[in-house]
Amino acid sequence: MSTLRQALYGIALLGSIALLIWAQSQRIEVADKNAELANQAADAARDRATRSEATANQLQASLQEERNAQTVLRGVQNQLRQGLATRQRTIEDLKRENAELRFWADQPLPDAARRMRERPAITGAAAYRDWLSGRGALHPVGD
């Protein structure tokens, strides 16, 4: 019976080793699946990061273009201010030199011109469009 017992122990040992090997192979398969899922998640994260980086680069380029445009506009604005100041000085010089021009400049604006300069407070493009197409039209003075 001792050999039979040894054979049964051997078979039991082989069965437990086979069960252990099978369990280990199952763990390896699960680990491989988890690793594959992790790789897919990492690839997706890399793709998102690449898209975000491209968007950030586009926004940075747009910001730089906007800053350049603002710089150009400031230069134009400064030129316009200088031109306006020059014209105002010229007008003042002419008014000092010419009494007829000084008398004309001191007169109040005619009613038609004054009405052209009067308008309600406008807040936005839609309000301006409504005001333009509304009752604010000027009528000829002679009528």
Structural domain boundaries of the chain? 2-108
pTM, two decimal places = 0.46
Say what the pLDDT of residue 73 is.
96
**Residue 135 above 70 pLDDT?**
no
Q: How far apart are CA 125 and CA 39, in angstroms?
A: 53
The structure tokens listed for 120 are 């309600």
**Residue 136 above 60 pLDDT?**
no
Closest by CA to 136, choosing from 122, 121, 115, is: 115
Say what the pLDDT of residue 72 is.
96
